[in-house]
Structure 1
């Protein structure tokens, strides 16, 4: 188990499980529908239960690679669905 840590019976590898990424995309879709604009990274984290903004950023990078979203650099709410 190199690079993995075990705490309270749960294996952690330092990144968010992939199962959270679909919830992140759903959160983005729902927020755009309800509010007319994309959520902030902090709002995404709160909605899907992730405290680390770095973990949310990694998920956004995965969603960009799919490509499920497009991000606009330098904009707080710069996420668009594809």
Structure 2
């Protein structure tokens, strides 16, 4: 990687001006520039999200319910991926 750009539109502009390649979401500007768009098929990458909560601090019931929901959905996702 030679450059890291925070804006997808800027990266697309660089590519349109023969300044390399980029991986970007399918945004409208891509279709208005002189680019060849190649979709990624079955990417093997993933993005991890984390949830942190303070210990020994009162959390309202809605926060505890959300925590329970996140844990249950995460376990369900892990179960489906392994079976």
Q: What TM-score comes out, normalization by structure 2 length? A: 0.25
Rg comparison, structure with higher value: 2
Choose between structure 1 and 2 for higher RCO, CA contacts under 8 A separated by at least 6 residues.
Answer: 1
